[in-house]
Chains A and B, each alone.
Chain A
């Protein structure tokens, strides 16, 4: 039986919740609005909210002056590249640990998790020098590897928690029918694993896209993603808020949309399955 909630109470809570939501969302909303203003209007006091001359000019200027598309394509390459390579080595590992666990599997999982605890600054100096000596600084492949390794424990853990929910009996049945391990993987496991893998991909792309320690320290221009692109706006030249807003909007929009779809996966992935 559904509980009857007094209408007045519901209205009060609704008002409160929308108020909180609006305040929290405001900086993002403000950035998006400002990106459509002229530079003069962007710094106007009192600020203008909706009634200003909407313009798309800033978006053009940002592309022209700082080559947004190059950084954006770098972000895409790094996020997708690291996710793909990560999946390639994580799927077999998670599959094996979920379906043929040994005595050491649990320790192994915990150890993998522990690599995530290592603070990046502990590895910054050697990695910087290794990259310098191997000419990997500001290269795509170098950053892809770093991002992949950074998120590999999360990928394995997430896949593991999804794979574990697939009933093992189905695999046994297919084995009885004489399916080889390869066939079992392709025809039986893969279709059931796709949702879990898709969620993992989504979360990993978000994490890789927003990663801002290694991308800021190991890239300068050639392989620099959007984090670096935005950071280049930290030394202002004249009026620049509207342009900064346009650049910011373009940098966060794709991930905001993905993120809204990935809420549930985010909880599972970032808590390593502790909260579902």
Chain B
């Protein structure tokens, strides 16, 4: 039982983490929201802005109130629709591929096979590869139209070479990112499968349950939760994919929302516009986060 003393010590112990996370969450977000209503360009001082805007740090001459103009420009920029589309396509296809592939692989690895641990090591390895490495390895050594390994295979099969990043940049990114995230899905689902009660398995077999209905009535319900967790967590990470697009230089055609915000802010120096984009990204992520939080919250009680 916690005494008064332990409780107050507990509060002191928790305080630094809470304070740090609070600042980390609130300060940048508040600034992003604030900037999103400013006309604020790093390289373009505007004389009309010399009426000091409240809250100015530096660059006071470069900013003044813009109302909702940034949102208007950002949302009506054709690049926004493209980025939005790319963001959703990327999340959708990688989820489909990694969950379907991951489930099949996990079921396969759960069978009695020789060298299961070795296979598992090979399967999960891509998850530990740095995003910039996998971007360059895939772009050059696997998908290069002349000397890439895939080109050699397709040419040997008489199909001709495909210039992935020039003609199908989105497909190329989806393949690459799926390669990185399928191991994660496999690992989570395999862990869940291995926690499946052996006795239940045996009982079902003794009762002569056919393999298919065993799969449908026992395995599928058991996997519902880990698969949901995989979907939610991957969604959070996939919405934020950046390095793969940046390093392969496919931002022009396969750029997603994070890339567009980066482009607005750090390449075009339009802080106001980029901030409006940032706010939109936060809103999107929150919709996904809402479901994840509910799920994990429920689990905490159990």
Q: Residues of A with Cβ closer than 8 Å to B?
A: 1, 3, 5, 10, 13-14, 16-18, 20-22, 24-25, 27-28, 30-31, 34, 43-47, 89-90, 92-93, 95-97, 99-102, 106, 108-110, 112-130, 133, 149, 152-153, 156, 181, 206, 209-210, 212-213, 216-217, 226-228, 230-231, 233-234, 236, 241, 244-245, 248, 251-252, 255-256, 258-260, 263-264, 266-267, 270-276
Contact = CB atoms under 8 A, between A and B. Distances in A.
A248 B27 contact: no
Contacts of A119: 239-240, 258, 278, 281-282, 284-285
B68 interface: no
A17 B113 contact: yes
Given A45-B147, A108-B18, A275 B188 contact: yes
B242 interface: yes
A21 B123 contact: yes
Contacts of A93: 13-14, 16-18
B57 interface: yes
Interface in B234-263: 236, 239-240, 242-243, 246-249, 257-258, 261-262
B122 A22 contact: yes
5 contacts: A25-B125, A25-B126, A27-B126, A115-B24, A120-B240
Contacts of B169: none
B171 interface: no
B128 A270 contact: no
Given A20-B108, A21-B119, A123-B278, A113 B296 contact: yes
A252 B119 CA distance: 19
Given A125-B265, A230-B247, A252-B130, 4 more contacts: A17-B119, A121-B258, A121-B278, A234-B136
Contacts of B233: 270-271
Interface of B: 2, 5-7, 9-14, 16-18, 20-21, 24-25, 27-29, 31-32, 35, 57-58, 105, 108-109, 111-116, 118-138, 140-142, 146-147, 149, 152, 156, 179, 182-184, 187-188, 191-192, 195, 202, 205, 225-226, 229, 233, 236, 239-240, 242-243, 246-249, 257-258, 261-262, 265-266, 271, 274-275, 277-279, 281-282, 284-286, 288-289, 292-293, 295-297, 299-300
A100 B289 contact: no
A256 B120 CA distance: 13
Contacts of A46: 152, 156
A125 B115 contact: no
Nearest to B119: A21
Contacts of B17: 89-90, 93, 112, 152, 156
A153 to B, nearest CB: 7
B35 A125 contact: yes
Given A100-B6, A121-B262, A274-B229, A212 B149 contact: no
A240 to B, nearest CB: 8
Contacts of B247: 230-231, 234
Nearest to B190: A267
Contacts of A10: 111-114
Contact of B243 (A45, A95, A216, A274): A216
A274 to B, nearest CB: 5
Contacts of B296: 110, 113, 272-274
Contacts of B293: 110, 113-114, 117
B191 A276 contact: yes
A113 B239 CA distance: 17
- Which residue among A21, A93, A99, A216 has the maximum number of chain B CB atoms within 10 Å of its CB? A21
A117 B133 contact: no
A17 B117 CA distance: 11
Contacts of B29: 118, 122-123
Nearest to B36: A125
Contacts of B16: 89, 92-93
A125 B31 CA distance: 9
A227 B258 contact: no
Contact of B281 (A14, A112, A122, A217): A122
A50 to B, nearest CB: 15
Contacts of A244: 136-137, 140-141
Contacts of A109: 300
Contact of A149 (B18, B24, B248): B24
